[in-house]
Amino acid sequence: MSSNVDPLVVGRVIGEVVDLFVPTTEMDVNFGAKHVNNGCDIKPSMAADPPSIHIGGRPSHLFTLVMTDPDAPSPSEPSLRECLHWLVVNIPGDTDPTQGEEVMPYMRPKPPLGIHRYVLVLFQQKVRVPAASIELSPETVETRAHFNTRDFADRHDLGMPVAAVYFNSQKEPMNRRRH
């Protein structure tokens, strides 16, 4: 399974968002009929609704899903890195995020400038984490900016990721948006 990490290195997800890890859990991500592979292009209009995600593992396992944009507001000047797009805790294994507790609701990609990476990182929890106990900085709560996946994982004793995938997205011309 370690070959799955290589595109994360090339895409600078490993290094900028998470440290090198070995994937141990399957995570299948789809926007409609479009399967998300590392580095694929997803139009913002295709990602208006949360992706359907199937998480492997045993039903007795619990997972945390984090989705961020490490390129906000612009890939050349990511001064708001990381913008938090979605945070769900207590997702049972062999299910999907709708079975967990949403801490931060899904926010569709809205890349204002350039090609942005949107990263979905999965952590296996050691224990159930009450959603109400998750503390985010006031700025992250208000603007979703300056979230840090590594710091979040450290604060909540999540350890290394067990899966991750990223896709690219860029602003669509007005006349080409899907309805």
Handedness of CA 152, 73, 76, 170 (dihedral sign): positive
The model's pTM: 0.93
Handedness of CA 109, 133, 147, 168 (dihedral sign): negative
Q: What are the residue boundaries of the structural domains of the chain, listed by start?
A: 2-172
**Partners of 119 in beta bridges:** 68, 166
Q: ω into residue 82 within 30 of 0, thus cis?
A: yes
Per the CATH hierarchy, to which homologous superfamily does domain 2-172 belong? PEBP-like (3.90.280.10)
Pairing state between β 40-41 and 163-170:
parallel
State whether residue 47 is helix, strand or coil: helix
Q: Return d(Cα 143, Cα 28) in angstroms, integer.
A: 28
- pLDDT tens-digit series, residues 5-55: 589 999 999 999 999 999 999 999 999 999 999 999 999 999 999 999 999
Beta strands per DSSP E along 56-105:
62-69, 83-92, 101-104
- pLDDT tens-digit series, residues 65-111: 999 999 999 999 999 999 999 999 999 999 999 999 999 999 999 99
Task: For the beta carbon of residue 117, count every other beta carbon within 10 angstroms.
Answer: 24
CB 68 within 8 A of CB 107: no
> For residue 1, is pLDDT > 80?
no
CA–centroid distance for 84 within its chain: 8
The model's confidence at residue 173, banded by pLDDT at 50, 70 and 90, is confident
CB 29 within 8 A of CB 166: no
- pLDDT tens-digit series, residues 120-168: 999 999 999 999 999 899 999 999 999 999 999 999 999 999 999 999 9
